């Protein structure tokens, strides 16, 4: 195969940064080595920058279709690409929720040719699901054991267990919103402390405990784990694990307003610090943003009426890269949790700089840090709790070898593809 493009410079390969040349053809990496000959186009990034694989977000809510006043696939994936996220996996609780082949194909049709990065669409696990029909069309399934948008709560064992069994029989991974709805209270709320009271840690633990009782060792991913105890339970059950930045950064008695209202809730300072310590040690499999945009007007409502959800798609990985720059997080942990593991866990040929993988690449100058300016973010929702935080944004981002961001500015086109056709 003729090499079309060669990118050369310090490159992240197999856990270390070293000089390499990357040969690309038809959007795929075809060779990596000290010297790659050929290529109609050659790009030398210089000695002061590094090349990383594109990040993959295994958990986003882009609200398309049905709630596009909050976000849509164009604005959401524009936010993603500026963060170096070259593939997103979108959750099924849109309107209508993705519960069968018909609604899935309608959603695929609605967003086609509007994405700036590659994407996959999850299907919801519902009673009587036809998992075999859906499986070839999705990268994974989503089980909601706690209430969410749409009539897709599935928390009673007599319905949940056979449906989950059918899903897991397909070989696809099932992500879970692990909050046992039986333990969630509906009492009035005025602040995040009240929200935490209504959604206690026991709801997380009991949901994981119930799954482990029936499906230990199965291809299950526990989303947005909020407690070290939940992390330990999930790992002991052989499940993969995912954390969000907001559960690592915020705490209930300091971050009290509806801007921080999210499900599962942010917890107390001790819990946050213990979870963050485990994250830094690399005890977590994946970073997922759970990007859940609502309009600024909705989040400014009275706390009880305000919707739960925090946008984080454009800010999470730049803040993680600032942790790398500052020496708080090893680059190996960042790439493993944000590139390698999400792609491998959901069976997508991305996340590594190696032959046969998509040429999703990003280039960083780790000497350059900035403060997040909410006015410059690309999400339609128009707000973020991360304004003023330090971040390192990628200088260049490529999706399948095509430059989408250059010098920090979008220069591409909506070339995103469905990873499941």
What is the tens place of the pLDDT at every residue in 254-295?
999 999 999 999 999 999 999 999 999 999 999 999 999 999
Collapsing DSSP states into helix, strand and coil, what is residue 331? helix
Q: Give the active site residues.
A: 290
Please tell me the distance from the alpha carbon of residue 64 to that of residue 376, in angstroms, as a whole number.
22
Residue 141 binned pLDDT confidence (cut-offs 50, 70, 90): very high
Task: Residue 226: name the closest of 258, 187, 195, 186 by CA.
Answer: 195
Question: Average pLDDT, stretch 374-400?
Answer: 98
What burial class does residue 69 get, using C-beta atoms within 10 Å of its C-beta: 0-12 exposed, 13-18 middle, 19+ buried?
Answer: middle
pLDDT at 150: 67
> Given this model, what pLDDT does residue 151 score?
76
Superfamily of domain 5-52+353-410: Urease, subunit C, domain 1 (2.30.40.10)
Amino acid 1: pLDDT: 72
- Rg value, the chain, Cα: 21
Write out the two tokens for 288: 């997922």
Intervals of CATH 3.20.20.140 along the chain: 54-345
Q: Does residue 125 surpass a pLDDT of 80?
A: yes
Query: Which whole number is the average pLDDT over 71-96?
Result: 98
Per CATH, domain 54-345 is 3.20.20.140? yes
Contacts of 84 (CB under 8 A, 6+ apart): 52, 54, 55, 317, 318, 321, 362, 393, 394, 397
Q: Considering the entire predicted model, what is its pTM?
A: 0.98
CA distances from 406 to 55, 245, 291, 363, 412 (A): 17, 26, 24, 9, 9
How far apart are the C-alpha atoms of 152 and 141, rounded to whole Å? 12
Residues of the chain with CATH 2.30.40.10: 5-52+353-410
Two tokens, residue 278: 């485990």
Percent of the chain scoring above 70 in pLDDT: 100
Confidence of residue 77 (pLDDT cuts 50, 70, 90): very high
Nearest to 34 by CA among 16, 20, 50: 20
Residue 248 has pLDDT above 90, yes or no: yes
Q: What is the mean pLDDT of residues 185-199?
A: 98
Alpha helix segments (H runs only) across 281-315:
296-299
**What pLDDT does 149 receive?**
66
pLDDT of residue 403: 98
């Amino acid at each position: 195969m003729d090499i079309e493009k060669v990118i050369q410079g310090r490159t992240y390969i197999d856990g270390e940064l070293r000089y390499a040349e990357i040969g690309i053809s038809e959007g795929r990496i075809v060779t990596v080595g000290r010297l790659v000959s050929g290529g109609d186009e050659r790009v030398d990034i210089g000695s002061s920058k590094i090349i990383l694989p594109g990040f993959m977000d295994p958990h986003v809510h882009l609200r398309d279709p049905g709630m596009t006043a909050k976000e849509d696939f164009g604005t959401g994936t524009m936010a993603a690409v500026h963060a170096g996220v070259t593939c997103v996996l979108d959750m099924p609780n849109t309107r209508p929720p993705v519960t069968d082949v018909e609604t899935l194909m309608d959603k695929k049709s609605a967003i086609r040719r509007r994405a700036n990065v590659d994407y996959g669409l999850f299907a919801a696990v519902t009673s009587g699901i036809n998992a075999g029909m859906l499986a070839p069309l999705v990268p994974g399934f989503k089980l909601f054991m706690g209430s969410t948008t749409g009539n897709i709560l599935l928390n009673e064992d007599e319905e949940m267990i056979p449906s989950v069994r059918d899903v897991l029989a397909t070989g696809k991974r099932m992500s879970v919103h692990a909050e046992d709805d039986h333990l969630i209270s509906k009492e009035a709320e005025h602040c995040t402390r009240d929200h935490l009271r209504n959604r206690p840690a026991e709801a997380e633990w009991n949901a994981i405990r119930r799954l482990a009782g029936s499906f230990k060792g199965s291809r299950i991913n526990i989303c947005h784990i909020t407690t070290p105890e939940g992390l330990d339970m999930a790992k002991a059950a052989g499940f993969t694990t995912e954390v969000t930045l907001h559960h690592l950064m915020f705490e209930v008695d300091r971050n009290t307003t509806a801007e921080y209202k999210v499900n599962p809730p942010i917890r107390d300072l001790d819990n946050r610090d213990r979870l963050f310590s485990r994250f830094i040690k690399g005890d977590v499999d994946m970073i997922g943003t759970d990007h859940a945009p609502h309009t600024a007007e909705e989040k400014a409502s009275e706390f009880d009426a305000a919707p739960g959800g925090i946008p984080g798609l454009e800010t999470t990985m730049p803040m993680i890269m600032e942790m790398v720059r500052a020496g708080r997080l090893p680059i190996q942990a960042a790439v493993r949790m944000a590139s390698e593991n999400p792609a491998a866990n959901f069976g997508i040929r991305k996340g590594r700089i190696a032959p046969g993988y998509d040429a999703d690449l990003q280039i960083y100058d780790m000497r350059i840090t900035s403060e997040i300016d909410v006015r410059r973010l690309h999400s339609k929702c128009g707000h973020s709790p991360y304004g003023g935080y330090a971040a390192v944004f990628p200088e260049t981002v490529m999706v399948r070898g095509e430059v989408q961001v250059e010098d920090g500015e979008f220069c591409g086109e909506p070339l995103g593809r469905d990873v499941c056709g």
